[in-house]
Amino acid sequence: MCIYGVRIRMKRVTTITLPENVAEYVSKWEKGYMSNKSKSIYSQDPNYNGFTNGCLRVSDHWNFSVDKALRCKTTTKVDRSVWYVAKYDNGRWEIIHEFEESPKARKKMKNIKRQRKDA
């Protein structure tokens, strides 16, 4: 799979858009597994029956509810829509890296918010 020109081996072939710094980070993993429900990428196959301690997850969404159950619960508070890397440890995800938003991405988001406000 190619994300912003960075080659990543994935379990299935798909096209996703990730911030360049996130794609670069994941490309260094030996293997990457795409969630079938989101842009999240895991270092182990996400079988959804439980993760093995040490599994890494890269995502921009954490602590969300599915069928009234809290999923991807972190050990610390996180900001919405910020990309993080977390390591799974006994039922919770420990944030180990936060990606900084590029000035280009920040400007694009401001423009999108302005357009929504004007609509």
SS3 112: helix
Beta bridge partners of 34: 41
Query: How high is the mean pLDDT of the chain?
Result: 79
Residue 102: pLDDT band by 50, 70, 90 thresholds? low
**Structure-block tokens of residue 25:** 């980070």
107: pLDDT strictly greater than 80: no
Q: What is the DSSP letter of 108?
A: H
6: pLDDT strictly greater than 60: no
pLDDT at 119: 63
pLDDT at 85: 95
Overall average pLDDT of the 62-85 stretch = 91
Overall average pLDDT of the 55-65 stretch = 93
Residue 116: pLDDT band by 50, 70, 90 thresholds? low
Amino acid at 20: E
80: pLDDT strictly greater than 90: no
Overall average pLDDT of the 100-111 stretch = 64
